[in-house]
Structures are given as structure tokens and as C-alpha cells.
Amino acid sequence: MRRIAIYPGSFDPVTYGHLDIIKRAVKIFDKVIVAVAHNSEKEPLFSVPERVELLKKATKGIKGIEVDDFHGLVVDYVRRKNARVVVRGLRMISDFEYEFQMALTNRKLTDDVETIFMMPSEAYSYLSSKLIKEAASLGANLKGFVPGFVEKAIKSKLK
């Protein structure tokens, strides 16, 4: 049986922190599906198709990765993909409370899906997509935070 994990998120935009978690996860699982969530409550910079394309380009060359998008509950998507594990990144202690609530809620919804928390490398532990977008809007150089093509896409969107 193949070990499949789902790494869900908004990925608006994909950062080196996300890519670090993806690279760590493929060392553990046979297949990692990076799943872009349709979330009407957030106001993303990029559309879902744009985020999927940026992720595909960013993960090109990483074996065992599939990029997809989904609507609805993550646990329903996990089941549809015949997976049993949700991978979530924890950057700082401030992420823990929200992620813990989500994991417990998902467990209450279904007891056959587990959540695995992974920490990024220290170099990326402070990165967030929100911070990247804010820095970009103020004219910051994003080298070291996101791939060059992502920086270009962000700056193009912010014009």
C-alpha cells in the first residue's frame, strides 16, 4: 500500500518554507499531494489556477509530488485521494493553537485521518505568505523568501 499524504493550504504565494516542508514530506511518504484550498473567506492575491501553476513550477523536479486543488473539507478530500495523513507546517508557537484546533476538529469529523505537524528549517521558520506579500508591496527584494519567478509574479500582481 502506498503511503499518500495531503499537504493542504492556500499557498498564496508558495514560499521556500512551503517547499522545505514538501521536500521533508516526500522523504516520509511515497506521494505528497500539495492541495490548494478554495477558501472564499480569504482574499488571495493569486487565483487558485495561478497558485496551482506556481506550485507546479516550484516543485518541478521533486519526485513523488502532485499538485491539485480542492473545495470543501480537507478530510473529505483526503478520503477521495485514498490518503490517511494531512501534513501541516508549524513555523512558530503562535501557529500551534490554530493548527491544533484544526487537527482535533478533523479528528472529530473522521477518526481515520491523522495530522502530522512538520517544522521547516530554521531559515524559514518566520516566513509567511502574508509577510511576503506585505514586504513585496513595500518594494522589498524577495530573494531568499520565494523563487525568482514567484517574486516576479507577486510584483506583477501588485502593479
Among all residues, which ones are annotated catalytic? Answer: 18, 42, 91, 129
Sign of the dihedral defined by the CA atoms of residues 126, 68, 22, 149, in that order: negative
Beta carbons of 87 and 116 less than 8 angstroms apart = yes
Beta carbons of 77 and 70 less than 8 angstroms apart = yes
SS3 label, residue 43: coil
Closest alpha carbon to 88 in 12, 24, 8, 3 = 8
